[in-house]
Amino acid sequence: MKIKYVELENYRQYKKEKINFSIDENKNFTIILGRNGFGKSNILNAVTWCLYGTEDHLKTTEEVNKRFPIVNIEVLENLKNGEQTFVKVSVNLVGEGEEYLVTRSLRVGKHSSGDNFIDETSNLEVMYREGKNWYTPYYNNPTVSINAILPKEIRQFFFFDGEKLRQHFEKDVNKKIKDAINKISQTDLIDKAIDRLDYLRDKIRKEIKSENHRTQEIQENMTRYKELIEGAQRKLKEELEPQYEETTDNLDKINQKLRKCNVELVEQLQAHREDLTGTQKDLEDKRRSMKEKLIDYLIQRAPFILAKESVDKTNEIIKQLIKKKLYPPPIDFDYLQKLLYEDKECICGTDISKGEHRDTVKKLLDIAKYSKYPSKEASFVLSRINANCSEFIDKMSEQRKDLIETDKKSQDTAKKLEEINYKLGEININEIKILESERRKFESARDDLTKDKAKYEIELKRYQTELERLNKEYDRELSKEIKYRNILLRKEVCDKSIESLQQIKKLLMNKIRLNIRKDTKDCFFKLITEKRETYKDVLIDENYNIEILHKSGFNALDTLSAGETQIFVLSFAAALRNASGFNAPLIIDTPLGKIDEEYRNDVSKILPKFLENVQVVLLVTSSEYTPQVRKNLSSRFTKDYEFKLEFNKNLEESKVIPYGK
Amino acid sequence: MTKRHEVNKMIINEIDSLDIENYLKKFLKDLLYFEIGNIGETNQFRFSEEYEKMIFKALKEKSEKT
Amino acid sequence: MESKEQRDLAYENKDDYEKLTKDRLSPFYKRDYRDVFLLALAMGVSKNMSRPLKKRIPNIPLRGFTEEEKWFLKSIAISKTGNMEILSDSKEIFKIAEEYANGGIKLLVREVFENISNYDEVLEEELREKVKNK
């Protein structure tokens, strides 16, 4: 889907403006140059306002907003008493054989008293074109239409502010990524199907009016567990999780204050403390994975060692056969069989269909049966088992030793942390004392909440497992009565479908996560040409933690420069777009803003290659849009789609004019 | 309405590679196509009706196989 | 040649396997039933506890086993019968393995859950003893 034009009426700095975007396959870029304040970012805001009812990228603060409402102030001022008009933004979208016109309008005006008013809610309309006529979709839910084109939840990867993208990326990134991937993999579709199947399943179950005492008992139990589950879910969602977020937020704020408190000693200690906390976390992660590996190894080797006698005995048996020269056997079994039952004649010509010779050959057959047992393979594998067993003790001791070492490092770190906490507690500056005590309070609150959350999550799982068991028992009881067979069959379809759908959901999200990881890695490594050697890998684990593996082994995500982070986030956004399959336009405000000059050239050279087949609109400032950058992008746009903004202070109006003028 | 895209293909592929009976696979596909085609539909009753029809169809196919 | 019918190995009761693989604290958490089977089998062999299955629920695919593990199963059968002939009868090999596993599973569950916080250490100790006593 591409945006053919955006039409603005009375929207912020724009009184009446129609901006055309390039929808060409090859010259897919549109450039709009403007100073901040001229309405550059508001072009992006207009698009998001039109599609989603929100202006995501307002540069002005709350207070300034009061002076600059969404309606063009001059237009509003010039209205007569009792007169009204509309703020309107239209976006014309074209795709393969489809065309849509999305229009959002907001009524504004002046009361007869002379007071201005702006309506609370705006009106959204979506029309699609067939032939020469425009139609409204039959179920007339415009939000749904738009979500099918580009879902609201992933818009930040298509319409974004280059400068703000990094910040947006830093907070709650796991949840954001998970939500984005959810949306992209259309698991909401699967979720919906699961919801409806669940609803249907309950409905079907209610058809059964069983008088059986046992089933009624189970029913009661199931209801009880359902309530327990709801209770636990509510507790987690409405209480514990928000509290946890709030507490971590507060903790972050305090850490920040301490870091910038202007008392040198405190700043140093705080920095050291944050460092050590990071180290501590890494050590804990390391320990966990070491323990896992140890248990892996243990469980893998244990059976062979425990039942070693069997393996040894088998080895003995084979050795004996080898001694008796029966193994490997001197003659092939199949050959002898053929001889006896088909040819009935030896190669030397002797008849072996009966008699003494036949008996001899039959005896040989008895010996030759061992040729069916692959001997080489047997001794090889069995000796390997033995070898692995003998190195078991050494390997285990080594792993235990490493584990103890890591524990010791962890203890040392904990001790150092305690020392720092003590030192900071001793500082006799009132402000610091307050901050420190607040910090301690929040830290312990956070730890408590973590424990509580874990407790409830475990309980929740237990309840769910129990409910599942009860469900199965209930079905078992019911299936004993023939009259319910049919109902149960229908229910079974629901059950199996729900199970399959849940499986699919997991598999799908995993596949997509891995695709995104790969694409992010490829893009990022291609873009950071200079530092390519420094980074080894990009990982996104099952909990959506992102890791940029430095060649020395640690996670470099937090140590990237602003420019590198920008590039990384751009790569990630590109990967998400690829994975989403949504071919929506990309509108970037200040794309190269935070990027250092050395990267700016490289990025402006390479980015176009990554953005083939995508409509791209760049809203740039003159400091970004250097002659070199302009040259690098020039292959992707024509003069017809290179614009600049002109702002008329007297009329409080911006206009879009060709760049060359 | 709007056509969806390769993600749908991925879902269909996953259904095919599941270790379940064919009538169930067909049922799941019917389900998902129905959902895709009725994105705006919020009438719960209509859904239950349609779903029941699909279940009936699935069971019929199951008994025909055996 | 030995016939390698792709059969599934069976157990009598799913509950023990579920308990071991679904409990967060269990060392088998999120592992394959195969891992449980092999250790139960080894325990059954080492304590000479073999129990015929009252009901066969085949659910552990053979294709999940490594070469070593497959030969492990074979050597248990060879060791029990005393000769190599058993190799021509895969069905019997599996039966022997299943019955030993069936004999050892209850013991395994008990040992794991009685030492849930440090089963790895308990098991390691047991194995070290075994290796030393060679």
For the stretch A33-53, pLDDT in tens is 998 778 899 999 999 999 999
Question: Residue A419 — very low, low, confident or very high, per pLDDT cuts 50/70/90?
Answer: very high
Count: domains in chain B: 1
- Give the mean model confidence (pLDDT) for residues A591-600: 76
Selected for mutation to probe chain B from A186, A187, A510 (highest B CB count within 10 Å) is: A186
Encoding tokens for residue A37?
């304040």
Question: Residue C2 — very low, low, confident or very high, per pLDDT cuts 50/70/90?
Answer: very low
Q: What is the pLDDT of residue A124?
A: 92
Nearest one of A607, A103, A541 to A289, comparing CA atoms? A541
pTM for the predicted model, two decimal places = 0.60
- Note whether residue B1 is domain-resident: no
pLDDT > 70: what percent of chain A?
93
- The complex's ipTM works out to 0.94
- Note whether residue C2 is domain-resident: no
Q: Do domains A2-23+34-159 and A511-637+652-658 have the same CATH topology?
A: yes
For chain A, say whether C116 makes contact (Cβ under 8 Å).
no
Q: Decide if pLDDT at A369 tops 70.
A: no
Q: What is the pLDDT of residue A384?
A: 82
C116: containing domain:
8-132
Contact A591, A560 (CB under 8 A): no
Q: Decide if pLDDT at A64 tops 60.
A: no
- Give the mean model confidence (pLDDT) for residues C28-42: 93
Rounded-to-integer distance, Cα A142 and Cα A144, Å: 5
- Note whether residue C59 is domain-resident: yes
Q: Do A308 and C22 touch (CB under 8 A)?
A: no
- Prior bond to A328 cis, omega within 30? yes
Number of C-beta neighbours around residue A61 at 10 A: 8
Contact A184, B4 (CB under 8 A): no
Rounded-to-integer distance, Cα A616 and Cα A587, Å: 6
Rounded-to-integer distance, Cα A661 and Cα B21, Å: 68
Distance from CA of B65 to the nearest CA of A (A): 15
Question: Residue A368 — very low, low, confident or very high, per pLDDT cuts 50/70/90?
Answer: low
Q: Decide if pLDDT at A499 tops 70.
A: yes
For chain C, say whether A370 makes contact (Cβ under 8 Å).
yes
- Report in angstroms the alpha-carbon separations of C22 from A461, A470, A633, C15: 10, 17, 56, 10
Nearest one of A603, A578, A582 to A593, comparing CA atoms? A603
Q: Which residue has the higher pLDDT, A447 or B5?
A: A447
For chain A, say whether C41 makes contact (Cβ under 8 Å).
yes
Tens-digit pLDDT profile for residues C74-83 = 999 999 998 8
Nearest CA in chain C to A372: C1
Encoding tokens for residue A383?
């000796």
Q: What is the pLDDT of residue A63?
A: 44
Nearest CA in chain B to A504: B14
Q: Do C27 and A458 touch (CB under 8 A)?
A: no
Q: Decide if pLDDT at A199 tops 90.
A: no
Count: domains in chain C: 1
Q: Decide if pLDDT at A367 tops 60.
A: yes
CATH of span A2-23+34-159: 3.40.50.300
The residues, any chain, with a CB within 8 Å of residue A550's CB and separated by 6 or more, are A534, A535, A536, A556, A559
- Choice among A299-308, A419-428, A477-486, B12-21 with the minimum mean pLDDT: A477-486
- Note whether residue C43 is domain-resident: yes
- Note whether residue C51 is domain-resident: yes
Tens-digit pLDDT profile for residues A114-168 = 899 999 899 999 998 888 888 887 766 788 778 777 888 778 878 888 777 666 6
Q: CA gyration radius for chain B?
A: 13
Q: A234-238, A288-292, A613-617: which has the highest mean pLDDT?
A: A234-238
Q: Decide if pLDDT at A404 tops 90.
A: yes
- Give the mean model confidence (pLDDT) for residues A458-473: 89
Rounded-to-integer distance, Cα A162 and Cα C55, Å: 65
- Left if phi > 0, otherwise alpha if psi is -120 to 50, otherwise beta: which for A389? alpha
Is the domain spanning A511-637+652-658 CATH 3.30.420.40? The answer is: no
Pairing state between β A123-130 and A99-110: antiparallel
Residues of A with Cβ-Cβ distance to C67 under 8 angstroms: 377, 381
Give the mean pLDDT of chain A.
85
Q: Is A78 in a helix, a strand, or coil?
A: coil
For chain A, say whether B65 makes contact (Cβ under 8 Å).
no
Rounded-to-integer distance, Cα A374 and Cα A377, Å: 6
C71, with CB counted inside 10 A (0-12, 13-18, 19+), is buried
Tens-digit pLDDT profile for residues A568-589 = 888 888 888 777 777 789 899 9
- Give the mean model confidence (pLDDT) for residues A497-514: 89
Nearest one of A636, A627, A623 to A593, comparing CA atoms? A623
Tens-digit pLDDT profile for residues B23-57 = 899 999 888 888 777 765 667 677 888 888 888 88
SS3 of chain A: helix, strand, coil, percent, to 5: 65, 15, 20
Q: What is the pLDDT of residue A228?
A: 95
- Determine A/C contact with 3+ CB pairs under 8 A as the test: yes
Nearest CA in chain C to A393: C128
B59: containing domain:
6-65
Question: Residue A329 — very low, low, confident or very high, per pLDDT cuts 50/70/90?
Answer: low
Residues of C with Cβ-Cβ distance to A390 under 8 angstroms: 131
C-alpha A74 chain-centroid distance: 45
Quote the DSSP letter at residue A139: T
Question: Residue A4 — very low, low, confident or very high, per pLDDT cuts 50/70/90?
Answer: very high
